[in-house]
Amino acid sequence: MAAGEAQQQPEHLQRRWHYIRKLLERPGPFSHPDFEPSAEILDFILNSCKILVVGAGGLGCELLKDLALMGFKKIHIVDMDTIELSNLNRQFLFRKNDIGSSKAKCAVEFVNKRIPGCEAIAHHCPIQDLDEGFYRQFHIVVCGLDSIVARRWLNGMLMSLLQYNDDGSLDQSSVIPLIDGGTEGFKGNARVILPGMSACIECTLDLYPPQKTFPLCTIANTPRLPEHCIEYVKVIQWSKENPWGPETSLDGDDPQHVAWVLEKAQERAMKHGIAGVNYRLTQGVLKNIIPAVASTNASIAACCATEVFKVATSCCANMNNYMVLNMTEGVYSYTFNAERRTDCIACSNSTKILEVEPQATLQAILDQLRDDQQFMMKSPGITTIINGRNKTLYMSSIKSIEERTRDNLKKKMKELGLFNGAEILVADITTPNTVTIKLKFIENLQDVDMSHYIE
Partner 1 sequence: MIKLFSLKQQKKDEEGSARPGGSQKKASAAQLRITKDLNELNLPKTCNTEFPDPDDLLNFKLIICPDEGFYRGGRFVFSFKVGPNYPHEPPKVKCETAVYHPNIDLEGNVCLNILREDWKPVLTVNSIVYGLQYLFLEPNPEDPLNKEAADELQSNRRLFEQHVQRAMRGGYVGSSYFERCLK
Which of the following is catalytic: 49, 200, 217, 229? 217
State which of positions 178-197 bind partner 1 (CB under 8 A): 194, 197
- Which helix (H) or strand (E) element contains residue 179? strand 178-184
Sequence-ordered alpha helix ranges (H) in 163-278: 216-221, 226-232, 238-241, 255-271
Looking at beta carbons only, is 83 or 285 nearer to partner 1?
Answer: 285
Question: Is 441 an interacting residue with respect to partner 1 (CB under 8 A)?
Answer: no
Total residues in contact with partner 1, by rule CB under 8 A: 82
Question: Is 149 an interacting residue with respect to partner 1 (CB under 8 A)?
Answer: yes
- From 77-85, 287-295, 324-332, 387-395, give the range in contact with partner 1 by CB under 8 A: 387-395
Question: Is 213 an interacting residue with respect to partner 1 (CB under 8 A)?
Answer: yes
Looking at beta carbons only, is 83 or 435 nearer to partner 1?
Answer: 435
Question: What is the four-CA torsion angle of 328, 333, 339, 345, rounded to 10 degrees?
Answer: 40
Q: Is there a catalytic annotation at residue 347?
A: no
Looking at beta carbons only, is 118 or 312 nearer to partner 1?
Answer: 312
Looking at beta carbons only, is 101 or 434 nearer to partner 1?
Answer: 434
Question: Is 240 an interacting residue with respect to partner 1 (CB under 8 A)?
Answer: yes
- Mapped onto helix, strand or coil, the DSSP state of residue 358 is coil
- Closest separation in Å from C-beta 391 to partner 1: 5
Looking at beta carbons only, is 199 or 293 nearer to partner 1?
Answer: 199
State which of positions 265-284 bind partner 1 (CB under 8 A): none
Question: Is 136 an interacting residue with respect to partner 1 (CB under 8 A)?
Answer: yes
Q: Which of 259, 353, 398, 448 binds partner 1 (CB under 8 A)?
A: 398
State which of positions 48-77 bind partner 1 (CB under 8 A): 48-50
Residue 442: Cβ-neighbour burial (10 angstroms; 0-12, 13-18, 19+): exposed
Q: Which of 55, 57, 181, 380 binds partner 1 (CB under 8 A)?
A: 380
State which of positions 15-34 bind partner 1 (CB under 8 A): 32, 34
- Closest separation in Å from C-beta 208 to partner 1: 7
Sign of CA dihedral 337, 77, 186, 230: negative
Looking at beta carbons only, is 302 or 422 nearer to partner 1?
Answer: 422
- Mapped onto helix, strand or coil, the DSSP state of residue 346 is coil
d(CA 161, CA 138): 11
d(CA 393, CA 424): 9
The DSSP 8-state label assigned to residue 398 in this structure reads S
Q: Please, are residues 144 and 181 in contact by the beta-carbon 8 Å criterion?
A: yes
- C-alpha dist (Å) from residue 170 to 130, 163, 313, 435: 25, 6, 21, 18
Give me the amino acid identity at 433.
N
State which of positions 360-379 bind partner 1 (CB under 8 A): 379
Pick from 139, 176, 143, 190: which is nearest to 319 by CA?
190
d(CA 22, CA 416): 60
Q: Which of 137, 249, 256, 342 binds partner 1 (CB under 8 A)?
A: 137
* Active site amino acids: 217
